[in-house]
Structure 1
C-alpha cells in the first residue's frame, strides 16, 4: 500500500520546495510590470521542486553532476522520448541520439541562464519519468508601452507508464506554482494536438479553461490542428489552484487504497 505525502490546501508551496528561495516570499505579490526578468542563476543551475511523490529539478550540468550521472540521465530521457506510445502526439520529437539529447540539455541550460526558459526533469524517487517546465519565457509588450507581461509556454512529456495516476497533475502544480509565485509569471499558455483528447480534457476539467485558439501552424508536425489554452495568475489563485489541489488529494487517497 502506498504512503504518499498529503497535499495540504492551506500550506505554502514555499514550505514544500527545496533550494528555490525557500522563505519569505508572498505568493500573491505582483511583479513590477517593467522589472527586468531574470531567473536566479542558482535556480537555472540547480532548482528542485518537491511534491509528495515527484521531484522536479533542472537538468544536470557539469557543475552539478558527474559525467556518468549526466550520461545516465540522457539515456533515460532518450528512452522516454523515443517511446512510440509516450510520443504519439509529438512524433516529430521522437527520434534521439546521445549527441542530440546532450545538445538539447545544453541548450535548455543556456536558455535558462538567459531567462528564456526553465525546464525540469521529473523524477519519482530516483527514476526519471519525464520532463515538464517552461519551454519559453518572454516579456510581451501590451497596448500601453509602459506595460509588459511575462508570458510562459508550459510543456510536459510524461512516460506513458505514469499516465492516469495523478503524476501529471502533480508536475503541473509544482511547476505552475513556482512560475506564478516565484518567477511572477503573468500568464501561461499550453499547446497540444487536437487529437490529444486526454490533455485537452485535463485543461478543461481540472483547470477549467476553455480552448482559446486552434491553428495549423505546426499541423505538418502534429498531423492535425493544434489547440491553445491560456491560464492567468488571477485564474490560478482565483480557483484553479484549489481545484488542482483537490484533484491531488483525490489521487493521494486513491493511491493509499491500492
Structure 2
C-alpha cells in the first residue's frame, strides 16, 4: 500500500487492483450517485474496465496527483478524493474532487482529506490554482469547498449525459490560488 499522506483521522493511499469491491459499493449507492448520474449506479464491469484502470494509470503518469482511496484509522474504506489536472487545464492548475460512502457523510472527512491535498499541492507539488465543481443544488459539496478555503468563481451550465434533478440551476465552480492560500495561512498563524 502506497500512502500519499495521513491526517489526524485519515489515510490517503494509492488505489490497488483489490479496490474493485470498494468502488462498486461506493458507486452502487443511489444517494452517493445522486448528483453525478441522477442515482444510477456504476456497473462492476465499468469499474473493472474503465474507472479503476484510469485511477491506477494516473498514479503511474503523474506522481503525487490522481485518485486516492480514503481510509479511516482502522483501514476502513470511506471513498476517494482526487487531485488532478484535466487535459484542457493550464499547467499548475488542478481539480479537487471527492466521493464518500454515505456513512462517512457529515463527519468532516471530505473536508479533512481535501484540505490536506490542497495544502500538499501548494506546499510541495508546485500547484498554482485549485478548483472544484459541483451542481448548484449540491450544498453538502459546496460546504466542503468553502471549508477548504475555495471561493465561488462562477455559475455555469453544461450538458450532462444524465438528467439530474436540480440540473436546471447549473453548476458552480469554486477555486483558490496559491496567493490566496498563502494569505489564508498567514492570517491563520498571526
Output the TM-score relative to the length of structure 1. 0.62
Question: 1:172 deviation in Å?
Answer: 0.7
Query: Which one of 25, 28, 31 corresponds to residue 79 of structure 1?
Result: 25
Distance in 1 between residues matched to 2:16 and 2:163, nearest whole Å: 29
Give 3-state SS (helix, strand or coil) of 2:35's partner: coil
Distance change >3 Å, CA 175–CA 208, structure 1 → 2: closer
Partner of 2:76: 127
Query: Which one of 42, 50, 55 corresponds to residue 6 of structure 2?
Result: 50
Give 3-state SS (helix, strand or coil) of 1:90's partner: helix
User: Conserved in 2, the CA contact under 8 Å of 1:191 and 1:228?
Assistant: yes
Query: Which one of 128, 139, 156 corresponds to residue 98 of structure 2?
Result: 156
Distance in 2 between residues matched to 1:178 and 1:198, nearest whole Å: 23
Query: Which one of 227, 231, 235 corresponds to residue 172 of structure 2?
Result: 227
User: Conserved in 2, the CA contact under 8 Å of 1:80 and 1:159?
Assistant: yes
1:212 is the counterpart of 2:153: yes
User: Conserved in 2, the CA contact under 8 Å of 1:49 and 1:55?
Assistant: yes
Distance in 1 between residues matched to 2:114 and 2:163, nearest whole Å: 22
User: Conserved in 1, the CA contact under 8 Å of 2:29 and 2:41?
Assistant: no
Partner of 1:88: 34
Partner of 1:112: 59
Distance in 2 between residues matched to 1:138 and 1:241, nearest whole Å: 32
Distance change >3 Å, CA 127–CA 185, structure 1 → 2: same
Question: 1:78 deviation in Å?
Answer: 0.9
Q: Which runs of 5+ in 2 are unaligned?
A: none
1:98 is the counterpart of 2:44: yes
Query: Alignment RMSD, CA only?
Result: 2.8
Partner of 1:66: none
Distance change >3 Å, CA 241–CA 162, structure 1 → 2: farther
Distance change >3 Å, CA 163–CA 182, structure 1 → 2: same
Give 3-state SS (helix, strand or coil) of 2:98's partner: strand
Output the TM-score relative to the length of structure 2. 0.82
1:195 is the counterpart of 2:137: yes
Partner of 2:125: 183
User: Conserved in 1, the CA contact under 8 Å of 2:30 and 2:39?
Assistant: no
Count of matched residue pairs: 182
Q: Which has the larger radius of gyration?
A: 1
Distance in 2 between residues matched to 1:230 and 1:236, nearest whole Å: 10
